[in-house]
Amino acid sequence: MPYQADPGRYSSMKFRRCGKSGLDLPLISLGLWHNFGHSDDFKNGRNILRTAFDLGITHFDLANNYGPPYGSAEENFGRIFEKDFKSLRDELIISSKAGWDMWPGPYGNFGSKKYLMASLDQSLKRMGLDYVDIFYHHRPDPETPLEETMGALDLMVRQGKALYVGISQYNAEDTARASRILKELGTPFLIHQPRYSMMDRWVEDGLLDTLESEGIGAIAFSPLEQGLLTNKYLNGFPEDSRAVKDGRYLNTEKITPELLAKVEKLNGLARDRGQSLAQMAIAWLLKDQRITSVLVGVSKPEQLRDNVESLNKLDFSDSEIGEIEQILK
């Protein structure tokens, strides 16, 4: 059956303005880092995207090398977009990125204009799009002049291939430099995508303050610390968990008894709040108005519904915040 979007999709989703721009983003956005490659279940991926949009999630986040194999998440998204979302294009924010390894040789990695421009053209072809709404430089490049990398982002906007641009994982100092360069070029710096969770707090060491002062939005990825900030590992390691299936980002050796004891305490606090641990972890990020949106990745539609329910309780008492800090010490 043809996909018919839920007519009530905007009734419950909350939106937040992205920095000093005209763009609102949903408080929950969907990342296609995992579960959308050629080795994954295409029908399940399609159901996740449909569920997301029906819940009011208008922002889908990709990158050139999401898969596996590299490029396959964009290819599968393109197939789903053609079938289900083409007539809804103007209701969607679609983003992609480049900066990590994508193809062999010196022109398929990091931050040169050569790589970034070629990568965006390839991404547009894979997804069947005329433009992306946001294009990010995926990581800092210590060898390429920042002026060249930002110049490439500026050129994308001038060519009409990206409406907005951003960066990911830059520190506070380089973020401020990038902002100054883009301002001089005349292309606004929309958004920063940092890794941020209760257990990964590096952005609090100056970056969030820089984003606020520069008028730049923030979208946090890995809010659940690759599944650690859920109840998934409290009773062992499920065979289908990321710690078992893919040890690159979270492996069983890192999940120590001391870490699990902290997770158990956080889980108890979440229960007292009437939330799951995952819901509390997302709400904890969104309590800060500088966080425009939280980027979640899910393996089934039910997880997405659970994540969205976190928006029902975003407030924290001073005692709850103090207890969380004490647990995480």
| Alpha carbon distance 313, 305 (integer Å) | 14
- Whether residue 246 lies inside any domain: the answer is no
Mean model confidence pLDDT for the chain: 95
List the pLDDT tens digit at each of the 329 positions of the chain: 899 999 999 999 999 999 999 999 999 999 999 999 999 999 999 999 999 999 999 999 999 999 999 999 999 999 999 999 999 999 999 999 999 999 999 999 999 999 999 999 999 999 999 999 999 999 999 999 999 999 999 999 999 999 999 999 999 999 999 999 999 999 999 999 999 999 999 999 999 999 999 999 999 999 999 999 998 888 755 566 555 555 565 666 778 999 999 999 999 999 999 999 999 999 999 999 999 999 999 999 999 999 999 999 999 999 999 999 999 99
- Confirm if 314 and 289 have CB atoms less than 8 A apart: no
> Is the residue at 260 inside a domain?
no
Rounded CA-CA distance 191/162 in Å is 13
CATH number of the domain encompassing residue 82: 3.20.20.100
Q: Does residue 232 lie within any of the structural domains?
A: no
- Whole-number Cα distances in Å, 309 to 45, 274, 313, 321: 21, 11, 8, 20
Has residue 9 been placed in a domain?
no
Q: What is the pLDDT of residue 253?
A: 75
**309 falls within a domain:** yes
Is 182 inside any structural domain? yes
Look at the alpha carbons of 66, 282, 217, 24 in this order and tell me if their dihedral is positive or negative: positive
**Is the CB of residue 60 less than 8 Å from the CB of residue 52?**
yes
Amino acid at 230: T
Rg, the chain, Cα only:
19
* Parallel/antiparallel/unpaired status of strands 217-220 and 93-98: unpaired
Containing structural domain, residue 80: 15-225+276-318
10 is a domain residue: no
How many distinct structural domains can be found in the chain?
1
Model's pTM, two decimal places? 0.94
Asked, for residue 271, whether it belongs to a domain, the answer is: no
Peptide bond into 68 cis (omega under 30): yes
- Rounded to an integer, what is the distance from CA 259 to the centroid of its chain? 24
